[in-house]
Amino acid sequence: MLLLLLLQFSICCLMLGNSEVVTSFENTCPQFFFRETPPNDAIKPANPAQICQLYKNQYRFATLYDRDNRIPIYSAYVYQPGYGKRPNSWMVEPQLMGSNYQKEMATEWILLNDIGVDQGLLNESQAVLRDYKNLTNFNRGHLNPNGHQPNPDYKAATFTLSNIVPQFMNLNSGKWNNYEQEVMKSRTEGCATTYVVVGVVPGNNYIAGGRVNKPSHIWSAACCEIDNNHRKSWAVIAPNDQNAVELFTLGELEEKLVELYRKEEILLFDSDCPRQ
């Protein structure tokens, strides 16, 4: 019996990561933002959750989550591509159900069967795996892709549904994948540190019977520090129903997002990051 309990505990621990819903990115995980400055509040949803994605006692990236639409608005990270096997276990965020729940992200199976979380409460708080079943022309699209992370632990941390949106399948495997793998590689040559924010514009359509918003656009912006005195930036945006990606300057993307979000000013990075 003792051996069985120890085995169950070990399996549970292996399947747990860590995430934390926080009141401030600046006070908890500012290292994922250029000059420790998150995007301004113009793109913050009406019912947000700020998540510092912690895995094995280390913060890996940051996510602004839209509780009402059950999608991330953006994920912010440092670009550090490395080799490693693609993970295959998807996790969810317990603290989206309430701050009294554990900080550790976990698979749905562990939360429901080992910890005793109520299925209805979990479903109400966020997207779950069954929301992404039997989709037509869409699949799970990472904002922070595992390919931009340096090792298995960082890669595993990206496999949380709080980092996922419904993405047009041909875009996900086509021009967006090319941007993530090829364009980012060439654009970051000479960069000492590259800060990335990948986000979406919520759309008017939904999957899973109206539970999960289907973004109208997906965008990405990068701020590269070459040295203490030199920086560069670039950005892209893609309609989420076409296999097409448009390359922008950072300033052009911010102007486009002002139009799409219908806001007066959007700043994705600190003003020290060049807009042209």
Give the tens place of pLDDT for each residue, 51-108: 999 888 889 999 999 999 999 999 999 999 998 888 889 999 999 999 888 887 789 9
Q: Tell me if residue 271 falls in helix, strand or coil.
A: coil
Residues in the chain: 276
How big, in percent rounded to 5, are the helix, strand and coil portions of the chain? 35, 30, 35
For residue 167, give both structure tokens.
């993405």
What average pLDDT does the chain have? 92
Cβ within 8 Å of residue 122, ≥6 positions away: 92, 97, 108, 111, 112, 128
| Residue 1, CA distances (Å) to 5, 25, 198 in order | 6, 44, 47
For residue 236, give both structure tokens.
């892209």
In this structure, are residues 68 and 211 in contact, taking their beta carbons and an 8 Å threshold?
no
pLDDT of residue 18: 52
pLDDT of residue 15: 39
**Strand ranges of the sheet holding 48-55, from the earlier edge strand across to the other edge:** 20-22, 48-55, 58-66, 71-78, 193-201, 217-227, 230-239, 246-248
pLDDT of residue 14: 37
pTM of the model: 0.92
For residue 174, give both structure tokens.
């086509």
Question: How far is Cα 114 from Cα 92, in angstroms, rounded to an integer?
Answer: 15
Which CATH entry fits the domain spanning 20-261: 3.40.50.300, 3.40.570.10, 3.40.190.10, 3.40.50.970? 3.40.570.10
Q: Is the Cα dihedral 26, 30, 36, 39 positive or negative?
A: negative
pLDDT of residue 3: 38
